[in-house]
Amino acid sequence: MQSSHAIIIAIACLLAGVVIGMVVIPVPDADPDDDAAMILLRLQSEISASLETLDTKLASAAYDLGSTGLDNKAARDILLEISSIHPAVIDSTTVSPEGIILAAEPFLHHDVEGVDVSDQKATQQILATHRPIMSGIIPVAEGGDASFISAPVFSRGGIASEPPGRFLGFTSIVFQPHLLIGEAAEPVVSGKPYSITVVDTDGRVLYDTDPEQIGLPLDDPVYTAYPVLVEFVTRVTKERQGQGSYIFRDQTKEAVWTTVSLHGTEWRVAVTRTL
């Protein structure tokens, strides 16, 4: 009997752990599959899993690069493999301790090799701390705006004249957030009366069900014409979870949101319905 009680308590704790950190707001008399809170829970889980997959693969590549070095055929083979792990990935690179791109794969992006990226805030952070990071959306050497996840590379003794544990630089996966988020978001809301918006903590739209809004900053005229919307999104950027309503394009909308994060960089994920 005590064993049964222990199992029940353990299951209850696990279920509680799943929802800690997000707001669960049931829609009265709604089908559970259409519940905004349940959709939000699924989105948080799937977007987090996608980011963690990139991060885990990159960490493994960084470990292997510790034996091969950062700029040779073996290193390029590693970069080529991790550049193909998700359609959102633009390329994979290695960068020297001076902030110079040493190698980039696939071949399409060899032209970024030799580019100095030491002026990027995220690059300066990993070079100073030797810890993994995820950048915000920034202009990248490959062209356009994107994000990257980076992992430090330390020598593992397989490189001639390199003592184990020496910082060699770092490796990165450069990716487009809207493609990574969209892969998770589109199936979740298909056929349902909800839309998805993901913004960073500056209020820039990383993903939206309306593709014309992707990439827009909060101070874009599309949004500033609606002060209540700007006030609402400003609140979203400051609070990791919550619910509220706003007016956009003469429609009143209600939203519930939560947070997905990696290496301290946070995305706000919101599920919205027009009233």
Q: Mind listing the pLDDT tens digit for each residue in 233-249?
A: 999 999 999 999 999 98
> SS3 of 193, please?
coil
Per-residue model confidence (pLDDT) at position 160? 55
DSSP, collapsed to helix, strand or coil, labels residue 217 as coil
Q: Contact, 170 vs 196, CB < 8 A?
A: no
Average pLDDT value over all residues in the chain: 87
Helices (H) and strands (E) in the chain, counts: 7, 11
Q: Any idea where the domains of the chain sit in the sequence?
A: 49-176
Mean pLDDT, residues 211-229: 95
What percent of the chain stands above pLDDT 70? 86
With beta carbons less than 8 A apart as the criterion, state whether 85 and 53 touch: yes
User: Where do the H-state alpha helices sit in 103-197?
Assistant: 121-129, 177-189
Distance of alpha carbon 245 from alpha carbon 253, whole angstroms: 5
**Residue 117 identity (one-letter amino acid):** V
Contacts for 62 with CB less than 8 Å, ≥ 6 apart: 151, 152, 153, 170, 171
* Cis peptide, bond prior to residue 217, ω within 30 of zero: no
Residue 188: pLDDT band by 50, 70, 90 thresholds?
confident
Decide: 222 and 238 in contact? Cβ < 8 Å: no
Q: What is the pLDDT of residues 51-77, one digit of tens each?
A: 999 999 999 999 999 999 999 999 999
Query: Which pTM value belongs to this model?
Result: 0.84
Decide if 178 contacts 210 (C-beta within 8 A). Answer: no
Through-space distance between the first and last CA atoms of the chain, rounded to whole angstroms: 49
The arithmetic mean of pLDDT across residues 144-158, rounded, is 92
In whole angstroms, give the CA distance from residue 101 to residue 140: 12
- The CA-based diameter of the chain, rounded to the nearest angstrom, is 69
Which residues, at least 6 apart from 100, have a Cβ–Cβ distance to it below 8 Å?
114, 115, 116, 117, 118
Report pLDDT digits (tens) over 154-171: 998 766 567 888 999 999
Looking up tokens 């509220």, which residue turns up? Answer: 244
Reported as type and span, the H/E element at residue 195 is strand 195-200
Domain 49-176 has CATH 1.10.10.10: no
- The encoded tokens of residue 208 equal 């939206």
CB 253 within 8 A of CB 246: yes
How many degrees, rounded to 5, is the angle at CA 274 between CA 271 and CA 275? Answer: 125
pLDDT tens figures, 77-132: 999 999 999 999 999 999 999 999 999 999 999 999 999 999 999 999 999 999 99
